[in-house]
Structure 1
Amino acid sequence: MHHSQAFRVTAAACAALSVALLATPAQAATSQGNGNKGVSLAFLGRFSTGSVGTGASEIASYDPATKRAFVVNAQAGTVDVLDIRDPRKPRRVTSLAAPGANSVAVSKGLVAVAEQAAKKSDQGKVSLFQARSGKKLKEFRVGALPDMVTFTEDGRRLVVANEGEPESYCAGAVDDPEGSVSIIDVARGTVRTADFRAFDDRADELRAAGVRLSGPDAPVSRDLEPEYVTVSGDTAWVTLQENNAVAIVDLDRAKVERIVPLGLKDFGKVGMDASDKDGKIDIRPRTGVKGMYMPDGIAHFRSRGQTYLVTANEGDGRDWDCYSDEARVKDLTLSSEAFPNAAELKKDAELGRLTVATDSPKDASGAYTELHAFGGRSISVRSATGALVWDSGDELERLIARELPKQFNADHEENDSFDSRSDNKGPEPEGVTVGQVRGRTYAFAGLERVGGVVAYDVTDPRRPVLADYLNTRDFAGSVEKGTAGDVGPEGVFFVPAGDSPTHKPLLIVGNEVSGTTAIYEVR
């Protein structure tokens, strides 16, 4: 019998990091805090669907009035409703029928669920339920592949990111719907759409600015793929993940105001481990390699009267039937001028295995002059205009190397997968949320591949500090058999102390691979 293990690391302000191996969830729940004004995460309990590797626990939300968590179960086509009045023993009390569910949000007793159509390139919908009774109230038609839904802070509107992913790029069967943002007036029942058609004749301008448009022969409005939304007042910030950009949307006018390119991260100045075939941890600068931030999750917070964005820089390529924009460096022709040691770099233990974008810059002969990797392997803070304020650099990879060296850059599909993600996005931060704890602001991000949640104190947006890391995956168990604890964190949801059943802040984490919902206390 395997014991679930919880790995945790705490960071005292400006002090060295320490790690404790906690043998069981019960011990994890009683572990000591880090002895400073920061926070530590403690495991309380989990609900397991019993379905592994099927997307049975993804995005979570919470209703303070009923003390219930709402968790997307994509495998079942439902939203599981969990009673977490005792968060050590979450239990499912009912499920909401929601075929194609991708995302869930709760506000003022209402539950909104984004559902894709049976054919994902067709129009999707958002269904509205009563939180207490589970009764379905109404549904709204939205764009293709609604991937994320959120309420505005006053609960009056819903904002939906319609990703508009293609079914295929095959000749005669190209089916790439428009990406868009739907704005639903809950009381009036009206739906308005902020689309990207106004940018169709500005493709060259967007590319020159750094917006990545990589779909074959796709107009801008079809190439842009909204992924995740955060809302403050009448403004929404929407990640366009594959495009390495953020759209700023005016909700009152239902109009995309700006498309902001997020720029490139120079891995010649910070480290990365670029090989899954060298059998070791090897984090070092890589000249000529730049990372496209390509965030998935996005959240916002206020500091000294200013709005800031936090992004989880996961990275994502386009790998579809009849079209892929991904390649390994060893299969590319490198410019001898830009890479004088090209033959050496193309070895598996150097850059040969690294997955990069085929639309990375080339010279007139078609040889690559720069290599653009997918994702920043980091958390970033940006201003409300999208300008980079801070990035965690290579701290996430170094954190895992130090605290879980035998599981460094492991995959979420199996244990004993040391180093297997070093060639492609590393720990892969995906979901991110922000919360206030005793007057300080923290960002919490799930690391999709190796697992676990990392916490940063972002109170000073220019100097965030690593506060804690907790991983409740059991690396002695079997992912396939469902004995590996919590694997593949997808959505991370913060419950403030005032709304919590324990009167202490909680994190509700949906783990897509293990099909588990984990509940952590923020201490």
Structure 2
Amino acid sequence: MTKPLMCMTSALALIAGAAAADGHAEKNFNRIASFPVVTNMAEGEDTSRETSPEIIDVTADGMTLVYTDSPLKALGLVDITDPAAPAPLGNIALSGEPTSVAVIGSTAFVGINTSVSFTEPSGQLMALAVPAGTELASCDLPGQPDSVAKAPDGSFIAVAIENERDEDLNDGVIPQLPGGGVVLVNMVDGTLDCASLQYVDLAGLAEIAPSDPEPEYVSINALGETVVTLQENNHMVVVARDGSIVNHFPAGAVDLEGIDATDERGALIFTESQMGRLREPDAVTWIDDEHFATANEGDYQGGSRGWTIFRKDGRVVYESGVSFEHALVQIGHYPDKRSDAKGVEPESVTFAEFDGTPFVFVGSERGSIVGVYDVTDPAAPVLKQMLPSGVGPEGYVTIPARNLLVSANESDLIEDGGARAHVMLYEFAEGPAAYPHLTSAGMEELTGWGAISGMVADEDGMIYAVSDSFYGFQPRIFKIDPSQSPARIVEAIDVTRAGRPAQKLDMEGITLDGDAFWIASEGRTDRVIPHAIYKVEADGNIDEEIGLPPELMAVEKRFGFEGITKVGNTLWMAVQREWKDDPAHHVKLVAYNIETEEWGAVHYPKAEPAKGWVGLSEIVAHGDYVYIVERDNQHGMEAVTKKVYRVPLADMQPAPLGGELPVVSKEEVRDLIPDLKSTGGYVLDKVEGLAITSDGTAWISTDNDGVDDHSGETMFFSIGQVN
């Protein structure tokens, strides 16, 4: 029963290299590995504790990654001798919360927050040998450190002393003294010269709360100049090597049009605006000695959803406006629950040159994407790629000598049953970009999407997919052209009742009936949302609603239909998990004859879970079989069951409800875990879509939960022919 029927090569592995205009093979960044930082915990440690890789750097030989882990009060180390197979080197315990790290040679310089309160901030700058963890030097700091940066020539260290505000005090309004500044510390014989520590006072410069500067991030250019973001103050400062102020200026504001500015309405509507939005930059990076880029996250009253390139004289050279956010919208990474605040929330930015091309890498904290921009002309950056990241990308390190980019992704969702925190590695190499798999780019209107669930293919090879209840006030059927690379959403059909959105549907399955659709809506009776089947016309209007019979409602639980398919005059629906009358590890495949209106069912035997639960996510009829997606609810290393099975139609003989049901047989068609690992990421939880074209080509999709406590990554790929 578990022997695969055939070895089908994933379409992801069949993509051939593209040729550039000059005849040379195109080079792109593609993810090659994901390292779950929980594996750095020692044997016997409580792996249920939160971990969080935030700021990351690398030793001079490019072989050992060093990252801060604030919840564990530790530095984590990763061996990337083989970057495609990163290995744990363990954690170095610290005396307090690490806020940032910079590595020179094999010495890590760590900012450590030792503050007892917001009004009594304190910290240390510590030098530690890597990988031994031996303390080489330690300087007391005049406040709470945030960002740490190293001079390109290794001659000194700069530290942003933030002395962060208490967001619970006076609604977080500043000023809240003491204010912050910048510390410059010289290096002597490869370690810290604490006697040289110089404090640069930044008070009185900003227009917003000038008495309370709150430095967030620092970066140093080849001239020894340190650029500092004062995020809450919406101000930029450039400090000379001797501690004098070269220049300072407000970061300014941006008018945003064509955005979704309404929070949590269960719909993606990009017709609103926010005018005069303060940039409030977080991370900053020098591009050259005259230009630097900022990620405009906003942590106080602003956040312009984009990124900016400034000259150090204060002139804006480039402003992304809404273009970065719109690029995330098109690939399904828009975080709807952040709409009224900071949208995709760009938080991180870094710079490096690869093969002679200067790149700026912009990280979206809430959209979990890394935008790769060619900044050959700083006044006209070109968005080259969007790289999938873990949840909440925070810090980056570039290793051009090894063609590597590394991201540290801070969000650990263990308490929510989600993915663990990861460090991810990308290689710049010949070949096409592997991500995204699905996009709405090219549509006349900006079209957001996410939470893709059930799918079905038509006779022309087009695929129709539904979004689930996350967008309950904007239920849609998406028409997808899988022949393009990436696959393209070419039409969005609103599901309506009497011309209005059919609110609160939980569409989990779709099948075709001529030009019409049948939709399975899972429902939640505890929220007065019924389990039901809907017939939907080609224009999206609901023509018919069929509720479940009393025999099923008497035994139902909240997890209902997770797929629908049509065989002759019979609709078959897969129930996700056991209902009240089902034997353990058996679920119903429910039948409804649309001519006779008779109901029936069979039992399907599913795997016993190693952890969590195992359920069904999809059912599709093709040839002499129905194909079923069976999955557990686990991510990453914990994932065991992500499989496609098939059941002979000869077994699909429904018995009357309320009595004993026949048990169908099943054959394994495909273990999907290798496919889910094929792009270097962790195994995604929700394999929810399966469509099979008339020639037998099977397509798989994953549900990204509407980018809510999720990286937003959607995989859409073919597993080849199933017959």
Give the TM-score normalised by structure 2: 0.51
Q: What does 1:480-519 correspond to in 2, within 5 Å?
A: 486-496=390-400, 498=401, 500=402, 505-514=403-412, 515-519=421-425
Alignment partner of 1:290 is 2:188: no
Residues 66, 291 of structure 1: CA spacing in aligned structure 2 closer, same or farther, 3 A cutoff? closer
The separation in 2 between residues aligned to 1:53 and 1:33, in whole angstroms, is: 42
The separation in 2 between residues aligned to 1:383 and 1:510, in whole angstroms, is: 28
Measure how far apart 1:144 and its partner are.
1.9
Residues 421, 119 of structure 1: CA spacing in aligned structure 2 closer, same or farther, 3 A cutoff? same
Which of 39, 53, 57 lines up with 2:53 in the alignment?
57
Residues 469, 170 of structure 1: CA spacing in aligned structure 2 closer, same or farther, 3 A cutoff? closer
Measure how far apart 1:32 and its partner are.
5.9
Q: What does 1:276-355 correspond to in 2, within 5 Å?
A: 276-284=263-271, 286=273, 289-302=275-288, 307-317=290-300
The separation in 2 between residues aligned to 1:511 and 1:103, in whole angstroms, is: 14
Match of 2:230 in 1: 240
Match of 2:334 in 1: 408
Contact 1:262 1:387 in 2 (8 A): no
Q: What does 1:149-228 correspond to in 2, within 5 Å?
A: 149-167=148-166, 169=169, 176-187=177-188, 188-189=193-194, 190-197=196-203, 199=204, 206-207=206-207, 212-213=208-209, 220-221=210-211, 223-228=212-217
Q: Secondary structure at the match of 1:398?
A: helix
Q: Secondary structure at the match of 2:327?
A: helix
Q: What does 1:103-142 correspond to in 2, within 5 Å?
A: 103-119=100-116, 121=118, 122-142=121-141
Match of 2:453 in 1: none
Which of 310, 331, 336 lines up with 1:382 in the alignment?
310
Measure how far apart 1:45 and its partner are.
1.0
The separation in 2 between residues aligned to 1:376 and 1:52, in whole angstroms, is: 36
Q: Secondary structure at the match of 1:425?
A: coil
After superposition, the C-alpha distances for 1:108-152 in whole angstroms (9 at most, x for unaligned) are: 222100011142542211100123533210101113220110111
Aligned-residue Cα RMSD (Å) equals: 2.6
Letter in 2 for 1:294: E
Measure how far apart 1:493 and its partner are.
1.5
Q: Secondary structure at the match of 2:199?
A: strand
The separation in 2 between residues aligned to 1:460 and 1:52, in whole angstroms, is: 47
- Decide which moves more: 125-134 or 506-515: 125-134
The separation in 2 between residues aligned to 1:459 and 1:61, in whole angstroms, is: 25
Contact 2:279 2:303 in 1 (8 A): yes
Residues 315, 166 of structure 1: CA spacing in aligned structure 2 closer, same or farther, 3 A cutoff? closer
Which of 238, 252, 258 lines up with 1:271 in the alignment?
258
After superposition, the C-alpha distances for 1:21-57 in whole angstroms (9 at most, x for unaligned) are: x989xx58x9666644775321111221237894521
The separation in 2 between residues aligned to 1:462 and 1:301, in whole angstroms, is: 12
Match of 1:440 in 2: 357
Letter in 1 for 2:129: Q
The separation in 1 between residues aligned to 2:76 and 2:298, in whole angstroms, is: 28
Residues 177, 86 of structure 1: CA spacing in aligned structure 2 closer, same or farther, 3 A cutoff? same
Contact 1:380 1:392 in 2 (8 A): yes
Q: Secondary structure at the match of 2:328?
A: helix
Contact 1:281 1:401 in 2 (8 A): no
Measure how far apart 1:439 and its partner are.
1.1
Contact 2:229 2:284 in 1 (8 A): yes
After superposition, the C-alpha distances for 1:285-329 in whole angstroms (9 at most, x for unaligned) are: 62x622111111111112xxx621111111111xxxxxxxxxxxx
Match of 2:427 in 1: 521
CA radius of gyration, larger in: 2
The separation in 2 between residues aligned to 1:146 and 1:33, in whole angstroms, is: 46
Q: Secondary structure at the match of 2:132?
A: coil
The separation in 2 between residues aligned to 1:292 and 1:395, in whole angstroms, is: 17
Letter in 2 for 1:457: D
The separation in 2 between residues aligned to 1:235 and 1:442, in whole angstroms, is: 21
Residues 53, 278 of structure 1: CA spacing in aligned structure 2 closer, same or farther, 3 A cutoff? farther
Match of 2:80 in 1: 84
After superposition, the C-alpha distances for 1:244-277 in whole angstroms (9 at most, x for unaligned) are: 111111221x23444310111122xx43211124
Alignment partner of 1:70 is 2:59: no
Show structure 1 runs of 5+ residues with no match. 1-21, 214-219, 318-356, 358-373, 410-418, 473-485
Letter in 1 for 2:75: V
Q: Which has the higher contact order (CA 8 A, sep 6+)?
A: 1
Letter in 2 for 1:520: Y
Q: Secondary structure at the match of 2:324?
A: helix
Contact 2:247 2:313 in 1 (8 A): no
Letter in 1 for 2:395: G
- Decide which moves more: 49-58 or 72-81: 49-58
Q: Secondary structure at the match of 1:144?
A: coil
- Decide which moves more: 272-281 or 454-463: 272-281
Alignment partner of 1:41 is 2:29: yes
Match of 2:665 in 1: none
Contact 1:52 1:513 in 2 (8 A): no
Contact 1:54 1:74 in 2 (8 A): no
After superposition, the C-alpha distances for 1:470-516 in whole angstroms (9 at most, x for unaligned) are: 114xxxxxxxxxxxxx21111121111x2x2xxxx211111110321
Measure how far apart 1:278 and its partner are.
4.0
The separation in 2 between residues aligned to 1:23 and 1:264, in whole angstroms, is: 47
The separation in 1 between residues aligned to 2:299 and 2:49, in whole angstroms, is: 19
The separation in 1 between residues aligned to 2:49 and 2:292, in whole angstroms, is: 31
Letter in 2 for 1:176: L
Q: Secondary structure at the match of 1:279?
A: coil
Letter in 2 for 1:519: L
Q: Secondary structure at the match of 1:375?
A: coil
Alignment partner of 1:469 is 2:469: no
Residues 55, 421 of structure 1: CA spacing in aligned structure 2 closer, same or farther, 3 A cutoff? farther
Match of 2:487 in 1: none
Measure how far apart 1:165 and its partner are.
1.1
Match of 2:143 in 1: 144
Contact 1:31 1:42 in 2 (8 A): no
Letter in 1 for 2:286: H
The separation in 2 between residues aligned to 1:273 and 1:224, in whole angstroms, is: 31
The separation in 2 between residues aligned to 1:181 and 1:487, in whole angstroms, is: 30
Match of 1:392 in 2: 320
Match of 2:451 in 1: none
Contact 2:60 2:104 in 1 (8 A): no
Q: Secondary structure at the match of 1:376?
A: coil
Match of 1:367 in 2: none
Letter in 1 for 2:101: V
The separation in 1 between residues aligned to 2:314 and 2:105, in whole angstroms, is: 30
The separation in 1 between residues aligned to 2:49 and 2:251, in whole angstroms, is: 32
Give the TM-score normalised by structure 1: 0.69
The separation in 1 between residues aligned to 2:217 and 2:10, in whole angstroms, is: 36
Contact 2:56 2:66 in 1 (8 A): yes
Q: Secondary structure at the match of 1:420?
A: helix
The separation in 1 between residues aligned to 2:247 and 2:78, in whole angstroms, is: 39
Q: Secondary structure at the match of 2:116?
A: coil
Letter in 1 for 2:33: G
Residues 307, 39 of structure 1: CA spacing in aligned structure 2 closer, same or farther, 3 A cutoff? farther
The separation in 2 between residues aligned to 1:294 and 1:196, in whole angstroms, is: 16
